[in-house]
Amino acid sequence: MKFIFICIIFFLTACSRPLLEKDLFGKYIISTSTGVDAIELKSNGVYIHSHSIKDDPTQQQQGSWKLEILQAGPTVVLDDFQNLSKEKSEKQDSYTYLLLVQKNFLDIYLITNIDLNTGYQKQS
């Protein structure tokens, strides 16, 4: 019984610990209507964003990222972000992209649409 109690306490304290920047390092993916989009958050503050379409070369770009605590919660801020899923002929403007961080037990998501609760999922 004591072992179960210790496990429950450990589980509750592990889930309630604040999110740290180092928790976010890694690769996140989302499937879109035009292919697979990936974002890799590196420990040096650089992200690599790629978009893969079947039978097409992968498009890639990079910029800087940081974790900010905003009113909505912990948010990954990507600077110089480009939407790589646009048609190649369209001009690709760079902008700042905000992704709300959501942690569900062991899974971490970068939310792209709060209403639909969809986003990039961290890969293990």
Mean pLDDT of 25-35: 91
Residues 110, 28: contact at Cβ < 8 Å? yes
Domains and CATH numbers, the chain: 20-122 (2.40.128)
Mean pLDDT of 45-61: 90
Predicted pLDDT at 80: 93
Which has the minimum average pLDDT: 8-12, 77-81, 95-99, 114-118? 8-12
Residues 39, 110: contact at Cβ < 8 Å? yes
74 - beta bridge partners? 69
Could you give the CA distance from residue 101 to residue 18 in angstroms, rounded to a whole number?
12
Residue found by looking up tokens 């939310």 in the block:
111
Q: Which of 31-35, 52-56, 66-70, 88-92 has the highest mean pLDDT?
A: 66-70
Residue 52, CA distances (Å) to 96, 113, 115 in order: 22, 21, 26
Predicted pLDDT at 9: 45
Residues 75, 99: contact at Cβ < 8 Å? yes
57 pLDDT band, cuts 50/70/90, is: confident
73 - beta bridge partners? 70
pLDDT greater than 90 at residue 121: yes
The conformation of residue 88, written as its DSSP 8-state character, comes to: T
pLDDT greater than 90 at residue 122: yes
pLDDT greater than 60 at residue 64: yes
Predicted pLDDT at 35: 87
124 pLDDT band, cuts 50/70/90, is: confident
Residue found by looking up tokens 């990954």 in the block:
76
